[in-house]
Structure 1
Amino acid sequence: MPTRPAAAASSASSGPPEPTGDRPRILAVTADPGITELLARTLEWSGYRVTAERSGADGMLRLSQNHFDLVIWDATLPDLAAFARGRRGAPADRPPLLFLAEWDSLQRLAPELHPGTEDYVTKPVRIAEVLARTRVLLRDRTPERDEGVPRYGDLVLDDAACRARRGDRALGLTPAEYRLLRHLMANAGRVLSKEQISRHVWGEFRAQHSIEKLVGRLRHKVDPDAGRAEPVLIHTHRGFGYRLGGSDR
């Protein structure tokens, strides 16, 4: 089984245990440490085994030495042309590919993609979109399994449809609310700062009151009966940020 580099391993140290069994293996090659950590943590939490590299050369070396079921590749890496040349073998021998691409590069990138085996998401990266595209690309290569369904207690997400429910109750989230809840679930038990939340939800820094309003709207939908019919899941840590968890602390 391929080993993860120190950065990816340390990011997952407080997350889920190392997956075992026949779960799909994903190679994520990105230049941004923040995206690397987000992908590694969230994909592993969703039931995949992840190996992360931060340069195209290291990614190509890792790909030549190990089997992967999917490759996520940062299209802004300078090694893209060499990587494309290395993928000219028989399609059956190549894992599916998901590019992380800048919007202004799509005119060049999109015509070269092979439908069904190659796809892209645009930056800033939306993790729900990455997970949805990942499942589509792996659909014909891996069996359906419940382990990949994001859940925390009775809180369940459907990344393909970008819908959420708590028990039998549909939450009816906006795109920003869904991204926030997905990020909180991927980091369940950890306190996320307003800056971290802002960067993930909008791809840029927003004023504190914008984040507070967004959290308030999400909390109203997730915890409408807080302390009565349902346990509180979204907690405020004043001066630090917000956390998803089963009890306050």
Structure 2
Amino acid sequence: MTSEQKGARILVIDDEPQIRKLLKVTLQAHQYEIEEAATGEEGIVQCSIAHPDLVVLDLGLPDMSGMDVLVRVREWSSVPIIVLTAKDREADKIKALDGGADDYVTKPFGMGELVARIRVALRHVAKSVQEPILKFNELIIDLAQRSVMRSGERVKLTPTEYDLLKLLAANADKVITQRQLLQQVWGGHHSETESHYLRVYISHLRKKLEEDPTMPKLIVTEPGIGYRFVTPDPEI
């Protein structure tokens, strides 16, 4: 665990005592500090007082929807929020991500997966200070020059391809929904035709950046939801 993650304060907002206990014991074993809240209102108050480094938020709360908590916290805080949900419908996941969640984990969940998602979210925050150059092993994106290098060679991208790559890479390891991509790259309202364009442009990027475009490891699809730029393991 990196130094910036060690001792990170995590707020767990969940009305199930057994879940809170499980999360507290497991996350404390990973050297995280844990705060708890059993209701949405309590969670909002705790978030404002405790200033957590990350929030784990259950969508099924007794006093208000977890989505309402998400929206209210996002009015004044950019703290990473990982949603826990028993709802596995794509529409629910998309709604949470569009509402400001950084990631989601579907119940029942494995603690190993949740801890991994927490580490990624905290790592992303640690990197969130805007850098002019993004480096992912042999892939280098120079934001100031709007240039992309792969294995020392310039990658020729169209303006739209570059804008898509920049948005995905700047939010590495986060799920970006199709709607978010369309709005930020194409702007305004979008149609089914533009949704098709998105798939085409993602395909073009994979052909230019992936070792095997048919089995992408860098730009992966979150079925029915969107895409995730995966930070590659450091080269040894």
TM-score by length of 2: 0.46
Give the TM-score normalised by the residue count of structure 1. 0.44
